[in-house]
Amino acid sequence: MLLHIPDVLTTEQVAGMRAAMVDADWTDGRQTVGPQGAKVKRNLQLPDASPLRRQLGEQVVAALTRHPLYHAAALPLRTISPRFNRYEGGGEYGFHIDGAVMSTGHGDEQVRSDISCTLFLAEPDEYDGGELIVSDTYGEHEVKLPAGHAIVYPSSSLHRVTPVTRGARIAAFFWVQSLVRDDGARRLLLELDTSIRELSAAGADQPAILRLTGVYHNLLRRWAET
């Protein structure tokens, strides 16, 4: 499920993050991938041990926690602390698939990557190129969103970032282990949750809404992994 999550961060929050990054110590992004990824990755990242990365990551997670669409779509169980990258001067990331199991950075704790997320921190007109291309059975989808907006998609998807030829593309990115492993099941739950909310807002029959709500939770109970 490829889904646009609008307005995760306010304009003021984005500006605050960007200001904090002005004097940041960016490092080679290839340090955080394996040999295959290093062949096609050319960008900069905030170091994993950077206090700034941790501080900004906490802000991102807090904002996502408050966003109802993100929660309904991702059903997050565990989230890897967001990283931050910067593409400029022709920087790109060729086609790749994210690792299936990743370390959280806390001891031996591991997370299965069900969902990948990119949160854009630069406006589209600030840079040329830098589109996120996600490939699935329906073809290739090009994503370039306003600052403060996010895209979520299955971590099993083949994807890339096109070369940035002007300006700088700045973004946060991270992975989520969902309560519901299967992408198709998550999609059905999101559609059901959305329908329940819309029917409630339209003043639909309450007993019918209650029955649909019961169906939602019984499906979640059937599919959830903890």
Write down all domains in the chain, each with its CATH number in brackets.
3-178 (2.60.120.620), 183-223 (4.10.860.20)
| Six token digits for residue 65 | 């926690």
Residue 202: how many other CB atoms lie within 10 Å: 7
Tell me what pLDDT residue 226 has: 86
Tell me what pLDDT residue 34 has: 77
Tell me what pLDDT residue 108 has: 80
- Residue-wise pLDDT tens for the chain (226 aa)? 999 999 999 999 999 999 999 999 999 988 887 787 778 999 999 999 999 999 999 999 999 999 999 999 999 999 999 999 999 999 999 999 999 999 887 778 899 999 999 999 999 999 999 999 999 888 999 999 999 999 999 999 999 999 999 999 999 999 999 999 999 999 999 999 999 999 999 999 999 999 999 999 999 999 999 8
Q: Give Rg (Cα) of the chain.
A: 18
Please tell me the number of Cα atoms within 13 Å of 174 on its side-chain side: 27
Helix/strand/coil for 165? strand
| Six token digits for residue 176 | 């989520």
Give the C-alpha distances (Å, rounded to integers) separating 70 from 31, 174, 198.
Answer: 29, 13, 17
